[in-house]
Amino acid sequence: MAKAAIQAKVEPTDMSFLRALHILQNEMIWAIGMAPGGLPAHLMRLRTQLQFAIVEKRRGRQCPRLVKALPNRYAALYLKKNPN
């Protein structure tokens, strides 16, 4: 995964581990039937497919972080004391 990140010119932490794992699992299923001589070409193709595991940068906040105000308590009826 680190070599694929270097080839894509991104930091290794910018790649999704789970996406890369799913790509690797899928490729290992197909690699069973491959001839051993085709392994270097297969690894190069795998590195190019790992570029789909790059995570997009998230945009910043539109609103500043604030502590929300507490809601008003519900209206309660109080009984008046009878002086008698």
Q: Give 49: exposed, middle or buried? Use CB within 10 Å, 0-12, 13-18, 19+.
A: middle
pLDDT of residue 61: 83
Report pTM. Answer: 0.59
Name the stretches of the chain with pLDDT < 50: none
pLDDT of residue 54: 87
Q: Which residue ranges make up each domain of the chain?
A: 2-53
List b or e across 3-26, with b for residues whose CB sees 16 or more CB atoms inside 10 angstroms: ebbeebeeeeeebbeeebeebbee
